[in-house]
């Protein structure tokens, strides 16, 4: 009987990709996926350390498994990803029934580590060197990128895929744990990225999202010794037949070059969508965060985006309640959000992370209730802006990559047999669109006429060539 694997993934796109690759490698060893922990032989948790809440959630998930492990000691429980690197042996102390702790730089070892546990060799731990535990080269080598061949069946939407172009981060923003757990920034070789993208295109992938912590800082060297940047990569990927959309996340404001903006404007397949976190609208906060730019420079970057890529959608991240943030400083963030009119913003309450410069240098002195209030205030403003901008889309026809059945339709019991269902997809600019259609249209890019909007969703009707906006002939 095949062995069964349960995997729980939280966190960023990098984690989604890592989970896909780990599952693919375990499937090659004969594993099948299950969504039920109690049916699984091996249970893996791919974890996030960016905020304390994410770590607490993982510990509470692990807590639930205590009884299961007590009654089935043969089941193997593993913690992988950022929290494994961050907490290391502490995980065994808090959850003594965990068998496996594997950092993001050792994921390729998971199949052999599981075998070791199964063979009775006891608990296994594999993590990378810390940022102060060796030379840069040694530390970089201890963080290995895990990029084996891809398995489209392992993705919720086989026609969309993440492609890693960079691992690690060297920016060391004072609040952020990522440089410690994901190690030094390393660009993948351009030839490897292109080969993987060609392979994905051959498997039917139409949309590629290039991922890196600071994806636009990418530098890679090819076999001939030539240095490539992100604009070079976009141009080369643009030539790959079958790929119809190219996105990239996450951008670092300081590295948003005119050359990159020109590539976004001129290469049709590249989505006019840029996620460029600002984090704060106050220069004092940006300095404490060690973001490496001023609000004036961020504004100038926004001007260059608006002029260089007309119609581009820009989204951002903000941290509220970072150490010492005053009401006046928060107001400057509000002003920046009002001014930049982001498509959407991800807003986070500051969460102190042990081991960061922020935790060493500054006091986490903004009360939780104030963080909560500021979070709500900023979210409300952003939602209003998102709604206003979405309303401007009413009457437009947008090309939508159909991603699947909408959440609402998936919940309905009869969703499985009716030919017409509510579908969801995304525009080139990354706007979510919901419309009625046929499940056979999943994976296609279709023109959809927008007739209504909410702050984060557009509502539309598929346009057919013969009779304009029509639904039922599509079955
Ligand atoms: N607390 C709150 N938010 C954080 N982020 C990173 N570190 C922290 C932290 N310690 C946010 C940043 C980043 C996003 C991925 O998570 O806004 O852009
Ligand atoms: Fe963290 Fe800053 Fe690197 Fe982003 S750029 S991963 S926020 S250290």
Q: What is the pLDDT of residues 176-201, one digit of tens each?
A: 999 999 999 999 999 999 999 999 99
Distance in Å, CA 337 to ligand 1 centroid: 17
pLDDT > 80? residue 220? yes
pLDDT band at residue 415 under the 50/70/90 scheme: low
Report the distance separating Cα 324 and Cα 329, nearest Å: 9
Q: Whose CA is nearest to atom 1 of ligand 2?
A: 176
Which CATH number is 155-271's, of 3.30.310.50, 3.30.750.210, 3.40.630.30, 3.30.70.1230? 3.30.750.210
Q: 């590629």: which residue's tokens?
A: 208
pLDDT of residue 413: 56
Report the distance separating Cα 413 and Cα 220, nearest Å: 49
Mean pLDDT of the chain: 94
| Strand pairing category for 432-438 and 420-427 | antiparallel
pLDDT of residue 464: 80
Q: Whose CA is nearest to atom 4 of ligand 2?
A: 213
Mean pLDDT within 119-134: 93
Q: Which residues are annotated as a binding site for [4Fe-4S] cluster?
A: 12, 48, 82, 169, 173, 176
Distance in Å, CA 319 to ligand 1 centroid: 6
Report the distance separating Cα 188 and Cα 389, nearest Å: 37
pLDDT of residue 42: 98
Report the distance separating Cα 232 and Cα 220, nearest Å: 10
- The pTM of the full predicted model, rounded to 2 decimals, is 0.94
Q: What would the CATH number be for the domain defined by 3-139?
A: 3.40.50.12160
Report which ligand 1 atom has the smallest distance to the Cα of 317. 17
Which CATH number is 276-391's, of 3.30.750.200, 3.40.390.10, 3.40.710.10, 3.10.50.40? 3.30.750.200
Q: Which helix (H) or strand (E) holds 333?
A: helix 327-340
Question: Dihedrals φ, ψ of 427, to 5°?
Answer: -80, 175
Report the distance separating Cα 158 and Cα 455, nearest Å: 28
Report which ligand 1 atom has the smallest distance to the Cα of 177. 7
- Ligand 1 is surrounded, with C-beta below 6 A, by 50-51, 175-176, 277, 279, 317, 319, 348, 350-351, 353
Return all residues near 419 (Cβ < 8 A) that are at least 6 apart. Answer: 438, 439, 475
Of all ligands present, the nearest one to the C-alpha of 278 is 1
Q: Where does 72-199 show beta strands of DSSP type E?
A: 76-81, 100-102, 124-126, 160-164, 166-167, 186-187
Read off the pLDDT of residues 457-473 as tens digits, 9 standing for 90 and up. 999 999 986 554 444 33
Read off the pLDDT of residues 200-212 as tens digits, 9 standing for 90 and up. 999 999 999 999 9
Q: Which residues are annotated as a binding site?
A: 12, 48, 82, 169, 173, 176
């Amino acid at each position: 009987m095949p062995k069964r694997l349960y995997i729980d993934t939280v966190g960023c796109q990098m984690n989604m990709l890592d989970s896909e690759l780990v599952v693919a490698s375990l499937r090659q060893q004969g594993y099948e996926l299950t969504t039920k922990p109690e049916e699984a032989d091996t249970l893996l948790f791919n974890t996030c350390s960016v905020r304390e809440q994410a770590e607490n959630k993982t510990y509470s998930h692990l807590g639930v498994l205590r009884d299961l492990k007590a009654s089935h000691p043969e089941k193997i429980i593993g913690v992988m990803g950022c929290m494994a690197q961050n907490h290391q042996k502490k995980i065994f102390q808090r959850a003594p029934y965990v068998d496996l702790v594997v950092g993001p730089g050792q994921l390729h070892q998971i199949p052999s580590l599981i075998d070791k546990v199964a063979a009775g060799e006891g608990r296994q731990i594999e993590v990378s060197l810390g940022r102060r535990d060796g030379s840069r080269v040694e530390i970089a080598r201890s963080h290995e990128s895990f990029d084996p061949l891809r398995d489209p069946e392992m993705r919720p939407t086989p026609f969309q895929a993440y492609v890693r172009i960079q691992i690690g981060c060297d920016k060391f923003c004072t609040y952020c744990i990522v440089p410690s757990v994901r190690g030094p920034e390393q660009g993948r070789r351009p030839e490897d990225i292109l080969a993987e993208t060609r392979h994905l295109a051959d498997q039917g992938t139409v949309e590629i999202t290039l991922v890196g912590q600071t994806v636009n800082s990418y530098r890679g060297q090819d076999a001939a010794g030539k240095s490539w940047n992100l604009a070079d990569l976009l141009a080369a990927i643009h030539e790959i037949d079958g790929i119809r959309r190219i996105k990239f996340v996450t951008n670092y404001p300081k590295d948003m070059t005119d050359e990159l903006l020109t590539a976004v404007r001129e290469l049709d397949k590249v989505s006019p969508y840029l996620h460029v976190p600002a984090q704060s609208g106050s220069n004092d906060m940006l300095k404490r965060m060690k973001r490496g730019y001023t609000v004036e420079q961020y504004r100038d970057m926004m001007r260059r985006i608006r002029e260089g890529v007309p119609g581009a959608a820009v989204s951002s991240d903000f941290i509220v309640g970072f150490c010492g943030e005053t009401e006046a400083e928060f107001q400057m963030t509000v002003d920046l959000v009002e001014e930049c009119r982001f498509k959407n913003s991800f807003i986070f309450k500051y969460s102190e992370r042990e081991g960061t410069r922020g935790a060493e240098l500054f006091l986490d002195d903004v009360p939780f209730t104030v963080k909560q209030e500021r979070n709500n205030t900023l979210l409300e403003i952003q939602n209003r802006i998102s709604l206003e901008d979405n309303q401007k889309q009413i009457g437009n026809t947008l090309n939508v990559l159909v991603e699947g059945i909408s959440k609402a339709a998936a919940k309905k019991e009869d969703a499985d047999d009716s030919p017409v269902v509510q579908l969801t997809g995304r525009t080139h600019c990354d706007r979510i669109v919901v419309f009625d259609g046929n499940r056979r249209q999943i994976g296609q890019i279709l023109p959809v006429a927008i007739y209504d909007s909410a702050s984060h969703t557009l509502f539309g009707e598929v346009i057919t060539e013969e009779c304009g906006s029509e639904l039922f002939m599509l079955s």
